[in-house]
Amino acid sequence: MTRIFFATDVHGSERAFRKFVSAGPFYKAGIVILGGDITGKMMVPIVQKNENAYDAYYYQNKVEVDNEKELEKFENEWKNSGYYPYHCSQDELAAITNDREKAGAILFGLMKERLEAWIKLIEEKLRGTGVKVYITGGNDDPYEVESILRTSDFIIDPEGQVVKIDDNKEMISSGFSNPTPWKTPREVSEERLRDEIEKMTSKVQDMKNCIFNIHVPPKDSQLDTCPKLDESVYPPKPILEKGRLVEFGAGSSSVRLAIEKNQPLLTLCGHIHESRGAIKIGRTVCINPGSEYQEGILRGAVVDLKKDKIDDYQLTSG
């Protein structure tokens, strides 16, 4: 039997990632897989006002911090929520406020720095333990994430490949998503997504024992239910009808089609954090463990695999 642990959408959360590192030994899983959206999305500029006083700019609000100890506490909270504290001068703050490109470059640098630290941590903690680690990017992750992950000789980035995870299980992986209102780095059309998946499925030797590790969930599967957004404004706003949120399935029709057509053993997805659950499409068990990274909680799924079948699975909240 092969036990895998799958989590996704940690979005830069230091605490959630550190829990992921511990998850293999904790759940006695020989294989741990981190789905896409590993990087965070927000920088928190911190400007020193005087010797012990700081202003932090958090969600368009200014947080005034009186001492180093409190600042450290705030910084840890922000890191655990997936944000990137960034110490800068008042002048630099003004510069990055007016120059989005510069702000983006700094944010990318912070993301790279944290990801590299994570790679180092995972190598330190798991090398020699027998736990195999697979990490892919997601639609929120810049393409450069692949090259950073591939600097490791321990972590496997299976993006766009068919990889054999044990004697008889193959896995295909994709961090692409269908279009979202947010215009994120790895959004592609449904046609392109279908082609990307087909490129991999055509190489799978035994579909009965194949795992689809695809970031975006299948369309209208209950693993993809979220509020419908009005894209005519930015940031997009939820649409209300008679005072109620309009919800819909934001998943991918190409992913659904690929599952229906190929009927793999298991599909692991994420993307829609609140649609945690497990369903079946034909013989395929599809799992979205959801995400609660902002609270530092690592949601995941432990799956026990046997040849041609799933022995058992358990959604976890660690």
Partner 1 sequence: MVRPCGRLSELSLSGTPAEGPAYVRKASGLVRELNARDFAFFNLAGFGLFFSLFYWVSLTPLIGGNYLVGFLLYVLAALCVTMIYYCFMVIMPRSGGDYVFVSRSMHPAIGFIGNLTFGVFWLLFVAVTAVTITSTGLTAFFGYVGIVYNLPSMVSIATAMTTPFWIFVLGVVWVLLGAFIAIPSLRTYLRIQQVIIIIVVLFYIIGLVTLAAATSSSFTSSFNSFTSQYTANTADHYSGVISAAASDGWAIPDQTSLWGSVLLLPAFGVVGFFQWNANVGGEIRSPKKTALYGLVVGAMIFLGLLAVATALLYRVAGFNFLSSIDYLLFNDPSKIPLPMLPYAGILIALTMPPWLGAIYTLIPAIQQILFIPSAYLVFSRGLFAYSFDGVLPKWFANVNSKTHGPLNAIVTSVIVSFILFIIVELPASSSYAFLFSSVFTWITTILPTLFVALAAILLFKLRPQLNELSPIKGIKLVIPGIISIIFIFIITYLCLTNPIYGANSPIGIYTAVGVVVAIGLVYLVSRIRRGRLLELSFKEIPPA
Q: Which is nearer to partner 1, 164 or 237 (CB)?
A: 237
Q: Which is nearer to partner 1, 131 or 258 (CB)?
A: 131
Rounded least distance, CB 158 to partner 1, Å: 20
Rounded least distance, CB 316 to partner 1, Å: 4
Nearest to 225 by CA among 246, 249, 245: 249
Q: Tokens for 249? A: 């399935």
Backbone angles phi, psi at 282, to 5 degrees: 65, -125
Instruction: Bin 91: left if φ > 0, else alpha if -120 < ψ < 50, else beta.
Output: alpha
Q: Which is nearer to partner 1, 73 or 203 (CB)?
A: 73
Rounded least distance, CB 6 to partner 1, Å: 13
Rounded least distance, CB 139 to partner 1, Å: 5
Count of C-beta atoms within a 10 Å radius of residue 193: 25
Q: For residues 215 and 175, give the distance between their C-alpha atoms in angstroms, rounded to a whole number.
A: 5
Tell how far CA 121 is from the center of its chain.
18
Rounded least distance, CB 209 to partner 1, Å: 21
Q: Which is nearer to partner 1, 67 or 317 (CB)?
A: 317
Rounded least distance, CB 112 to partner 1, Å: 14
Q: Tokens for 222? A: 């209950």
Q: Tokens for 31? A: 């294989």
Q: Tokens for 198? A: 């087909």
Q: Which is nearer to partner 1, 210 or 250 (CB)?
A: 250
**What are 187's strand-pairing partners?**
177
Rounded least distance, CB 238 to partner 1, Å: 6
Rounded least distance, CB 26 to partner 1, Å: 5
Q: 25: part of which helix (H) or strand (E)?
A: helix 14-27
Q: Which is nearer to partner 1, 153 or 244 (CB)?
A: 244
- The single residue listed with the structure tokens 């997009």 is 236
Q: For the chain, what's the residue count?
A: 318
Q: Tokens for 256? A: 């659904």
- The single residue listed with the structure tokens 């969600």 is 59
- The single residue listed with the structure tokens 């799956």 is 303
Count how many Cα atoms sit within 13 Å of the Cα of residue 229 in the half-sphere of its side chain: 14
Q: Which is nearer to partner 1, 204 or 251 (CB)?
A: 251
Query: Are residues 2 and 302 in contact, defined by beta-carbon separation less than 8 angstroms?
Result: no
Q: Which is nearer to partner 1, 48 or 180 (CB)?
A: 180
The per-type count for the chain, helices as H runs and strands as E runs, is: 7, 21
Q: Which is nearer to partner 1, 136 or 204 (CB)?
A: 136
Rounded least distance, CB 14 to partner 1, Å: 8
